[in-house]
Each structure stands twice: as C-alpha cells, then as structure tokens.
C-alpha cells in the first residue's frame, strides 16, 4: 500500500493512475480530469485521485484490495479536519465563554489562574497552562449538570455565538470538501466516525445535523458521568473529573474501545492525529491516511507548528515515508466553507 | 406508555389489543393468533403482542408514538438474555480455563485465593469472592497480550469448549427467539446494541457472526489498553487494570458514553439490568422494557435469586409497576436454542 501510493505520487500531478479512471462511469472519457463528481469542491490533483483510487479499490469485488462493507470504517479528527480551529479550538472559546458566564458565582476566579487569564482573554498566559489549564477550565464549567442540560447550553451557544474574525456561526465553518468526502465515503458503504480530542458530548450536539455522523459514531474526550436519581427519575450527572483524554496515544485506544476494529482510512490535520494515522495505516490490506494542511492564509488560516491549536510538525514530516496523502487547502480545495448558512438547531 | 402496557396485560391472554392486530398484513384475519411471522419461535401471548405492538407503533408515521429511525436504538444484555449463563457466566468458565492453562507459569496460584478455588473448581469458595474475585482472575489471565492475540485465544476456546451439561458449543446456546427478535427489530430500522457486564473484547469475537451485532455496537466491561510499539508496529496491549465495569449503575453510563442517546427499548434478565431498564423506560415517548425470566428447568434452567450468575429479584418485583414485559421462557418460547449448529469461526 505505502509503495502503491508513493508510486502514484511519483507519477506527478498530470498523470492519472489508471485505477482512478475506473471510478468514472462506463461511458465517461478517461481524459476528462473531473473523475469524481461526488467531490465537486475538490480540485483535481493527487489528493482527489488518491481518495477516488482508494475508494474504487476497496469497493470493487474484483479488486485484490476489496474490503467487505462492514470493515469499511473511516475515522475523522474534528478540530482542523472537519471545521476550523483558529484563533483557538472552538470548544476552547466555548469554555472561556462559560468561565465568563459563571464568574459571578466564583469571585475567586478573578485572582486564580487559569481562570483569571480566561476572564482577561490573556491567550499568552493561557497558552502557558497548555492542555492541563484548558482541562481545568472545562472541569469547572462543564460539570455539575445533567448530560441533557449540558447539551442545551452547547446548543444555545452554537446558535448565538459568531466567530470573532469571520462573523459566521461555528457550525458554518465546516469544510465543504470534507462534508462531500463524508458523503462520498458513506455512499460507498463506509461507516464514518469522528475521533476528536474535543468533548464527546459537545460534538454530539451538532454532528448528526452538520456532518451526518450520528452520536453513536462520535468518539471524543469525556468527563465522568454518574447515574443519580432526581425527583424519582434516573439522570446522568456530569462530574468534574476527567474520564478519558482522546488525543495522541489515546486515539487508537479509544477507537478500539468504541469500534472494536481497526479502521481502513484516517483523516487528520495535526500531531495529535499522528498515532491514529500510524495505527490505522499499519494495518494489512488497503489503507488511506490523509493529512489536511492549513496553508491558505487568504481563505482560511495558515499555520503548522506555530499555533495555539492544532500544531502540525512530526506528522507532516512522516507523511511521505508512510504514504499519507497531504491535502493542501490552498491547492486542493475549490471552496472552503459551505455556501448555505447552517440551519438554526 | 406504562399505563398502556398495563392495560394490555389487564386484557388477559386471550384478548388481542387492537394496536397489535395492526401489525398484520392488510388481508390477514384479526382472529388469527399468529400476528407476526418474523417471530416464529415466540408463542402467541402477551409478550409477543407487547413487542409487535411497540414495533408497530414506533414504526408507523401515522402513530402518535412514531420514532424516527435514527432514534430507534435497542439495547440487549448478553449473559442470560441472549445466551445461557448456567452453571456460571460463560466468560467465567473461560477465565477458569485460562487460570488452569497458565497455572504452570504461576506455581503460587496453587495456594493463593481465588486462584486456588478456580484450579480446584471450588465454586462455593469462588462464590464467596464474588465479582471482585472474578475480576482478579480476569486481570491475571486476560492481560499482557495484544488485543488481536486475546481475540485469537477466545476464538480457539469458543471452537473447542463444550458446555459441561449440554455438550454444545457456547455459541450454540444462544436463544433462537432472541435471534429472531434482533432480526425483527433491525428489519424495522432499529439499531441493536449489546450492553453486557461481560468483557467487550470477549463478546466482540462472536457478536457479528452469531447475533448480527457488529463490534462497534457491543458495549461491555473492559480493561485498560495501551498503545505500544512492537518491532516498529503500533499495537494495543491489554493491561491488568480495570477500565470500566459495565454493570448496574454502569450500564446507563456506558450507553451514554458509547451511543450518546437514550435507547427506546431495553432487554435484560437480571438485577444487573435494573438501572438500564429504569433509565431507558423513564424516557419520554414510547418505550419497551423487557425482562427474560429463566423459569424453564426442563429445556434450559430455572433460577431467580438462587444462582451464582444472573440473580433476578428486585427487577422482577418492579416489572409490573414499571410496565415492563416479563417473558416466561417456559410459556413464551416455542424453542430455546437454534436447530443449526454454529459454524466454526
């Protein structure tokens, strides 16, 4: 597999691997560069060919790479892979908003870090606290309520909040080419899962409506929940305690825990996805590993390792040797965001 | 809902609720008691009517109880609900077998409890150690190997082992009426999940082949796994540490973690399923809670609270008030086990 993808890359951007042509309908012209109308927001190029070629090979019963439908599992990171993550992870912005909303009940936060930094929007100091600081803020603001109540708070925020620079709803800052890719894979009998370092219950509030990914196919970080009885009714109450951090080494662990088999395709954009990509593409048979490269400062954001969110360094270095497809948002994306506004949930 | 099911029960076994008749095809005779050919191993009676009635109501767009397909989630306990659990949980028998297989490497087990009891097949002493003892044996014998290697060991055992009294493979001791029920629900756009106190990776080795439930729809108890690199390849290694005990209060927690929404139907057989049944049937809209009662000493086993596995007491007491359907294996099951032997995996 790795060799095969490398060979495709060596063909250069003009050459179209024959196997990719097979994704055309019977009567289409092999010289026509638009090989896959299911992905209209992808420019023709290596990335689109690699995707079409992979889907054609695993989907054809005549192919040596055929994969039975139940094993066609594809996993997608969320932040930076399905939607933007600048100036910071969107759930991070939600957390800061919650800190501000709850500050009246916690006067001590004004002089306690990392709460003080969140209240003062002091991103530099917050950055110094790293993931640990963000987790502390999340524990303090995402717990002590039922799972249903938490979902209501998230939904209200997603409806009201607007991105500070782009002035759109966060759920409108999803990548149109990735929405098409999700649909294209599902049309080819893939089951699509989200595997995110973000909160599992945060993402589930919008994943079905926005991505077509039902809650049972969302994997993410989580806090402990506990069954309690309130007014005679059983409810799940969120506890201020980390249950699982679904990032880096945690991603293969969580995929195995939730899905129970190794996916055949993985899509990510940062070093947090490195272990997931390694584990998925180390499996036998046809595999697709893909890294989204944020290199479009004009239409979205350009950042590699110089970012508070979604640092990309080691994974990008390893991509050629491991046969991972690198998607340049500048070069490969015809459009970044959907034209349609997101329907209010 | 609760009131409605109670009303059905009060009609008595001879009376057929009109809503159940609607599950017939248009030209069938309402006096014909065979209302649902999808469940041929279920005898006609309240339990079968309750199931058919529920499925018809949530599946009909004209019904006030209509549930959109994505929300038609049904959860099934495994031990005692989908297969037998006497003389002891089948995975327990596997654990004892593993203790014996590994005893040569652990001479100290001969004089250390609970290992000694497992080696001497001293069920009474083992019973005194309870769940904690069983977990200790599982940790010692189910860890220190890759997830793939563990699956191989389980598969080999499932192929070779035979039930001590019934002389059949354990995978042949699944309940034919429950297999039909799983199929019937799936044919009506339900997604079926297993939610077991047993090991998630143990059940996944046979759930797809035997129950038609893919690994990603199996929820169970688990031990910690860790991503390691062996000979340059990433592998998941099982650690001798409990990750999650999916029993009692744990079942609603695990369902929420894996599925992210409250199922509308739950099937169990013991007090370990009580909280799951309570939580599922406490939701709004149409709900089905069902308890399988092991009361057939002749064809299977008869036990309530007097059992080393699957004690049933409180849940059975609560069933009438909560509107749960109680299935008598003696009265409601036309057949217990499938006629066909299980294909060797």
Question: Is B261's Cβ below 8 Å from some Cβ in A?
Answer: yes
Residue of B nearest to A193 (CA): B216
* Rounded Cα–Cα distance for residues A248 and A307 (Å): 17
Contacts of A134 (CB under 8 A, 6+ apart): A92, A95, A114, A126
Q: Residue B36 above 90 pLDDT?
A: no
Q: Which two tokens stand for residue A298?
A: 């004009």
Q: Are B260 and A204 a contacting pair at CB < 8 A?
A: yes
Closest CA to A174 of A219, A213, A215: A213
**3-state DSSP assignment of residue B90:** helix
pLDDT tens digits, B39-56? 999 999 999 999 999 999
Q: Is the pLDDT of residue A276 over 50?
A: yes
* pLDDT per residue as tens digits for the range A135-166: 899 989 999 999 999 999 999 999 999 999 99
Q: CA of B249 to nearest chain A CA: how many angstroms apart?
A: 6
SS3 content of chain B, % helix, strand, coil (to 5): 45, 15, 40
DSSP state at residue B239: E
A249, burial (CB in 10 Å: exposed 0-12, middle 13-18, buried 19+): middle
| Cα(A253)–Cα(A70) distance, integer angstroms | 20
Average pLDDT of the segment spanning A25-32 = 42
Q: B257 to chain A: which residues are within 8 Å by CB?
A: 200, 222, 225, 243
Would the CB atoms of B234 and A279 count as touching at under 8 Å? Answer: yes
Q: d(Cα A163, Cα A181) in Å, to the nearest integer? A: 24
Report the percentage of chain B scoring pLDDT > 90: 78
CB count within 10 Å of CB B314 equals 12
Q: Which residues on adjacent β-strands are paired with residue B333?
A: B42
Yes or no, beta carbons of A216 and B260 under 8 Å apart = yes
Find, in chain B, the residue whose alpha carbon is nearest to that of A263. B216
Contact A227 B279 (CB under 8 A): yes
For residue A258, pLDDT over 50 is answered with: yes
- Report angle CA A28, A32, A36 to the nearest 5 degrees: 70
Q: What six digits make up the tokens of B131?
A: 């769940």
Angle at A92 between CA A88 and CA A97, to 5 degrees: 115
Give chain A positions within 8 Å (CB) of B217.
Answer: 216
Sheet containing B288-293: order of strands: B233-244, B218-230, B191-199, B73-76, B265-268, B288-293, B325-328
Place of tokens 């009692």: B248
**B253 contacts A236? CB cut-off 8 A:** yes
Peptide bond preceding B114: is omega within 30 degrees of 0, i.e. cis?
yes
* Cβ distance of A227 and B253 shorter than 8 Å: yes
* Residues of B with Cβ-Cβ distance to A198 under 8 angstroms: none
Asked if A320 and A327 touch (Cβ cutoff 8 Å), the reply is no
B253·A225 Cβ contact <8 A? yes
Distance CA A344, CA A324 (A): 37
Query: What's phi and psi for A45, nearest 5 deg?
Result: 170, -175
The dihedrals phi and psi of B238, each to the nearest 5 degrees, come to -75, 130
* Closest residue of chain A to B151, computed from CA coordinates: A260
pLDDT at site B335: 97
CA angle, corner A239, sides to A236 and A244, nearest 5? 100
CA–CA distance, B212 with A156 (Å, rounded to integer): 39
Main-chain phi, psi angles of A340, to 5 degrees: -75, 135
User: What would the mean pLDDT of A272-279 be, rounded to a whole number?
Assistant: 97
- Is A278 within 8 Å of A314 (Cβ atoms)? no
How confident is the model over A88-125, as pLDDT tens digits?
A: 899 999 999 999 999 999 999 999 999 999 999 887 88
Residue among B171, B334, B323, B194 at smallest CA distance from B267: B194
**CB-CB under 8 Å, B222 with A275:** no
Interface-testing mutation among B191, B217, B256, B318, with chain A (most A C-beta atoms within 10 A): B256
Q: Does A91 touch chain B (CB under 8 A)?
A: no
**Closest A-chain CA to B201:** A260
Question: Does A176 score more than 50 pLDDT?
Answer: yes
Shortest Cα–Cα distance, A277 to chain B (Å): 10
Is residue A261 packed enough to be buried (19+ CB in 10 Å), middle (13-18) or exposed (0-12)? middle
Query: What percent of chain B lies above the pLDDT cut of 70?
Result: 89
B42 near A CB under 8 A:
no
Partner-chain contact B256 A225, CB within 8 Å = yes
Distance CA B53, CA B149 (A): 44
DSSP H or E segment with residue B57:
helix B46-59
CB contact under 8 A, A260 and B233: no
Contact B214/A at CB under 8 A: yes
Give tens-digit pLDDT for B123-164: 788 878 888 888 899 999 999 999 999 999 999 999 999 999
Q: Which among A70, A216, A275 has the least Cβ separation from residue B234?
A: A275
H runs (alpha helix) in B11-114: 18-21, 46-59, 90-102
Q: Does B77 touch chain A (CB under 8 A)?
A: no
Whether chain B has a CB inside 8 Å of the CB on A242: the answer is no
Q: State mean pLDDT over A269-293.
A: 97
A218, A234, A256 member nearest B278 (Cβ): A234
Q: Between chains, do B214 and A249 touch, taking CB under 8 Å as contact?
A: no
Kind of pairing, strands B73-76 and A288-293?
unpaired
Residue of chain A whose Cα is closest to the Cα of B284: A233
Cis status of the peptide bond prior to A87, with omega within 30 of 0? yes
Q: What pTM did the predictor assign?
A: 0.88
pLDDT, tens only, B202-222: 999 999 999 999 999 999 999
B151 — contact with chain A (CB < 8 Å)? Answer: no
Give, in degrees to the nearest 5, the angle at Cα A20 between A18 and A21.
65
Q: What is the mean pLDDT of residues B190-198?
A: 97
For residue B279, the distance in angstroms to the closest alpha carbon of chain A comes to: 6
CA distance A332 to A330: 6
User: Do the Cβ atoms of A296 and A302 come closer than 8 Å?
Assistant: yes
The residue of chain B with its CA nearest to that of A233 is: B282
pLDDT, mean of residues A62-66: 96
Contact B201 A260 (CB under 8 A): yes
Per CB-CB distance under 8 Å, the chain A contacts of B226 are: 249, 253
What digits encode the pLDDT tens for the residues B253-291? 999 999 999 999 999 999 999 999 999 999 999 999 999
User: Which of A217, A252, A260 is nearest residue B218 as measured by Cβ atoms?
Assistant: A260
Pick from A215, A233, A249: which is nearest to B261 by CB?
A: A215
Distances (CA, A) of B331 to A296, B199, B307: 68, 31, 21
CB B35 within 8 A of CB B42: no
Tell me which residue has tokens 């005990």. B245
Euclidean distance between CA atoms A97 and A162, whole angstroms: 12
Nearest CA in chain A to B259: A216
Q: Give residues with Cβ within 8 angstroms of B87, minimum separation 6.
A: B123, B164, B165, B308, B309
Which stretches does DSSP call E strand in B213-264? 218-230, 233-244
Contact B219, B191 (CB under 8 A): no
| Chain A nearest-CA residue for B220 | A257
Residues on chain B touching A222 (C-beta within 8 angstroms):
257
How far apart are the C-alpha atoms of B210 and B343, rounded to whole Å?
9
The average pLDDT across B311-337 equals 95
Q: Do A226 and B233 touch (CB under 8 A)?
A: no
Helix, strand, or coil (residue A318): helix
User: Helices then strands (H, E): number in chain B?
Assistant: 14, 7
What ipTM did this prediction achieve? 0.88
- Chain A residues with CB under 8 Å of B218 CB are 260
Indicate the residue of A234, A260, A279 with minimum beta-carbon distance to B282: A234
């Amino acid at each position: 597999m790795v060799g095969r993808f490398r060979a495709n890359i060596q063909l250069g951007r003009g050459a179209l691997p024959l196997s990719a042509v097979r994704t055309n309908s019977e009567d289409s012209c092999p010289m026509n560069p638009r090989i896959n109308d299911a992905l209209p927001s992808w420019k023709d190029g290596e990335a689109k060919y690699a995707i079409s070629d992979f889907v054609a090979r695993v989907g054809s019963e005549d192919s040596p790479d055929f994969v039975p439908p139940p094993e066609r599992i594809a996993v997608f990171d969320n932040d930076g892979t399905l939607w933007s993550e600048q100036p910071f992870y969107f759930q991070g912005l939600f957390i800061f908003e919650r800190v501000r909303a709850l500050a009246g009940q916690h006067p001590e936060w004004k002089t306690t870090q990392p709460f003080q930094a969140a209240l003062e929007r002091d991103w530099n100091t917050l950055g110094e606290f790293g993931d640990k600081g963000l987790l502390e803020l999340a524990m303090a603001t995402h717990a002590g309520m039922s799972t249903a109540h938490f979902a209501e708070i998230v939904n209200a925020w997603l409806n009201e909040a607007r991105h500070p620079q782009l002035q759109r709803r966060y759920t409108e800052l999803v990548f149109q080419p990735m929405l098409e890719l999700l649909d294209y894979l599902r049309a080819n009998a893939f089951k699509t899962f989200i595997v995110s370092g973000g909160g599992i219950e945060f993402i589930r509030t919008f994943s079905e409506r926005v991505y077509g990914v039902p809650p049972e196919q969302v994997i993410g970080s989580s806090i402990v929940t506990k069954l309690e009885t309130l007014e005679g009714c059983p409810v799940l109450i969120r506890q201020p305690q980390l249950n699982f951090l679904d990032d880096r080494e945690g991603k293969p662990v969580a995929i195995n825990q939730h899905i129970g088999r190794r996916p055949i395709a993985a899509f990510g954009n940062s070093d947090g996805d490195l272990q997931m990509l390694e584990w998925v593409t180390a499996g036998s048979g046809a595999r697709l590993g893909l890294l989204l490269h944020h290199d479009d400062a004009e239409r979205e954001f350009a950042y590699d390792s110089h970012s508070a969110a979604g640092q990309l360094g080691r994974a990008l270095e390893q991509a050629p040797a491991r046969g991972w497809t690198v998607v340049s948002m500048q070069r490969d994306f015809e459009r970044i965001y959907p034209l349609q506004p997101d329907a209010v949930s």
